[in-house]
Amino acid sequence: MTTDADVIIAGAGPAGSLAAYELALRGVSVLILEKSHFPRYKVCGAGLTHKILNEIPFDVSSVFETQIHSFIFSCGFKEVFSRTTDEPMLYCTNRDKLDDFLLRKAIEAGARVIHGETVMNVTQEAQIVSVATRAGTFRSKLLIGADGASSAVARSAGLREHIMPGLAWEAEVKVDPETLKAFSHTVFLDWGSFPGGYGWVFPKGDHFSIGVGGPASLSKYMMPYYQKLLDYLSSGGVDRGDDLKSEIRNSKFEIRILNTMSLKSWPIPVRVKRSSFHKGRVLVAGDAAGLTDPLTGEGIYYAVRSGILAARSCYDYLQGSAPSLASYSTAVNDELMTELLEANRIKSLFNTVPLKIHRFVRDSNRAWGAFAKILRGERWYADVPGGFGKWKVLWGAACSLSKLISDQKEKRFSKNGFN
Ligand SMILES: Cc1cc2nc3c(=O)[nH]c(=O)nc-3n(C[C@H](O)[C@H](O)[C@H](O)COP(=O)(O)OP(=O)(O)OC[C@H]3O[C@@H](n4cnc5c(N)ncnc54)[C@H](O)[C@@H]3O)c2cc1C
């Protein structure tokens, strides 16, 4: 039977475009089916950590809007402090630009794309995968589902198990020029207000992205939390009664909102157990696979990395050097899930004693250094238990206990909200 491509990829986000780039570069025929028309808006803080940049095999600096040198932290809008670094810790971009850039790279490498093509359903036959879209049917030897958080591919192929739903609300916000300038290199984070979630402000060149996120089970409290965040920011930020420790002159993150351009919610799927990321001729990557950091919501790194791993497994299979796509599930479980499961344990610990950890990051250069190293990809969550040496067992026990306490806290919050 004839095929439309060796590999079809559903979705042209970071996971799909990187998978397409890697495959096309190796001479594999690739067809991307993308439901939107690029460049398209995507709800996202679009903070790019060094570990993302280390993973993308070409330079993306042309799409950076801002470089982040300082973080202002509050815990439940209290005990505000800031931390700065000489080297940028993060780069902010807009997803319309980033994703368009990544897709262009895939096309330059030889991938084809059809825009406005929504994948609906997937059927596997002996030698082939049939991909039904709104417009018709496409056939390929292999299929990569990189179609994001509500993946039709994952659903259709039965690859959606062990996913804990998260949710975030975010708005693109115009502010007065002085605020924009004053905070062009600063991210604001409020943690400890919302179990399993946090609020943020990311500067994006000509505007800010302001958002809140957390477990979907607490979704009814997210807009009240978002409103609290806005009230806090527009009322001058710092609570005068707080013990303000400042490393930069102005730790107040005070903003005057001129215009809210969009306010949207979006799911953040979090895989909480090792499982299979392929079935027969179908693989899932990025958000479609639930590969997001439960602690921070970071997903672009996991999308890029899983896209690259998916491409490698597809290539090996097509070359005849691997009998199946099982190497993909193994690689994702060994590498990415190890990291994400540790992040989940740290999240429970944070939920249990948020103020203690907040103060630890404020007062300990070692703690701040570890945070910075994780953002830079110089250290991994999975390294954390090893740092306890012979006390590693205690770390494990503390995490297990924290999980119980953290779950209780979430349940209590779900009943009582902010009261
Ligand atoms: C509010 C918010 C803030 C975030 N902030 C950050 C951050 O600062 N840093 C970070 O690293 N991560 C962040 N994330 C997570 C990040 O956005 C995702 O993890 C990342 O976009 C996943 O990339 P992906 O390629 O897997 O999926 P996506 O980027 O979602 O791309 C999927 C693509 O598939 C297309 N598609 C969808 N369905 C179909 C279909 N049926 N057929 C064909 N095409 C389809 C979509 O149009 C889209 O282009 C944030 C998420 C949210 C919600």
Q: Find the 268 Cα to ligand 1 centroid distance in Å.
A: 9
Q: Find the 11 Cα to ligand 1 centroid distance in Å.
A: 9
Whether residues 52 and 81 share a domain: the answer is no
Angle at 121 (CA atoms; ends 120, 124), nearest 5 degrees: 155
Q: Find the 387 Cα to ligand 1 centroid distance in Å.
A: 33
Per-residue model confidence (pLDDT) at position 235: 80
287 lines ligand 1 (CB under 6 A): yes
Q: What is the largest CA-CA distance in the chain?
A: 73
Asked if 271 and 265 touch (Cβ cutoff 8 Å), the reply is no
Contacts of 396 (CB under 8 A, 6+ apart): 385
For the entire predicted model, the pTM comes to: 0.95
Domain end, chosen from 268, 298, 328, is at 268
Residue 216 CB-half CA count within 13 A: 11
Report the CATH number at residue 213. Answer: 3.30.9
Contacts of 419 (CB under 8 A, 6+ apart): none
| CA separation for the pair 174, 95 (Å, rounded) | 17
286 lines ligand 1 (CB under 6 A): yes
Q: Where do the DSSP E strands lie in 85-222?
A: 90-92, 112-115, 119-124, 129-133, 137-145, 163-175, 186-191, 198-203, 208-215
Whether residues 198 and 258 share a domain: the answer is yes
Q: Find the 380 Cα to ligand 1 centroid distance in Å.
A: 23
Per-residue model confidence (pLDDT) at position 153: 98
88 lines ligand 1 (CB under 6 A): no
Q: How far apart are the first and last CA of the chain?
A: 63
Whether residues 355 and 291 share a domain: the answer is no
Whether residues 243 and 112 share a domain: the answer is no
157 lines ligand 1 (CB under 6 A): no
Per-residue model confidence (pLDDT) at position 242: 44
Whether residues 36 and 71 share a domain: the answer is no
Whether residues 119 and 39 share a domain: the answer is yes
The domain in which residue 228 lies consists of: 67-89+167-268
Task: Return the ligand 1 atom nearest residue 133 CA.
Answer: 42
143 lines ligand 1 (CB under 6 A): no
Whether residues 279 and 335 share a domain: the answer is yes
Whether residues 112 and 150 share a domain: the answer is yes
Q: Find the 12 Cα to ligand 1 centroid distance in Å.
A: 9
- Residue 239's SS3 state is coil
Contacts of 113 (CB under 8 A, 6+ apart): 12, 20, 31, 32, 33, 34, 103, 106, 107
Per-residue model confidence (pLDDT) at position 377: 81
Whether residues 377 and 396 share a domain: the answer is yes
Output the tens digit of pLDDT for each of the chain's 419 residues.
789 999 999 999 999 999 999 999 999 999 999 999 999 999 999 999 999 999 999 999 999 999 999 999 999 999 999 898 888 999 999 999 999 999 999 999 999 999 999 999 999 998 999 999 988 999 999 999 999 999 999 999 999 999 999 999 999 999 988 888 888 999 999 999 999 999 999 999 999 999 999 999 999 999 999 999 999 888 865 544 444 444 434 456 677 788 888 899 999 999 999 999 999 999 999 999 999 999 999 999 999 999 999 999 999 999 999 999 999 999 999 999 999 999 999 999 999 999 999 999 999 998 888 888 888 888 999 988 887 778 888 888 999 999 999 999 999 999 999 98
Whether residue 203 has a cis bond before it, omega within 30° of 0: no
Q: 354-363 and 365-376 helices cross at what angle (nearest 10)?
A: 100
Q: Find the 184 Cα to ligand 1 centroid distance in Å.
A: 25
Per-residue model confidence (pLDDT) at position 386: 81
- Supply the residue whose CA is at minimum distance from atom 10 of ligand 1: 298
Per-residue model confidence (pLDDT) at position 157: 97
The runs of H, that is alpha helices, within 90-159 are 95-109, 152-157
Whether residues 123 and 136 share a domain: the answer is yes
- Residue 406's SS3 state is helix
Whether residues 178 and 317 share a domain: the answer is no
Domain end, chosen from 295, 325, 342, is at 342
104 lines ligand 1 (CB under 6 A): no
Q: How many domains does the chain have?
A: 3
Domain end, chosen from 342, 373, 399, is at 342
Q: For a substitution probing ligand 1, which of 93, 283, 287, 301 has the most ligand atoms within 8 Å of its CB?
A: 287
192 lines ligand 1 (CB under 6 A): no
172 lines ligand 1 (CB under 6 A): no
308 lines ligand 1 (CB under 6 A): no
Whether residues 35 and 142 share a domain: the answer is yes
11 burial (CB, 10 Å; 0-12 / 13-18 / 19+) is buried
148 lines ligand 1 (CB under 6 A): yes
410 lines ligand 1 (CB under 6 A): no
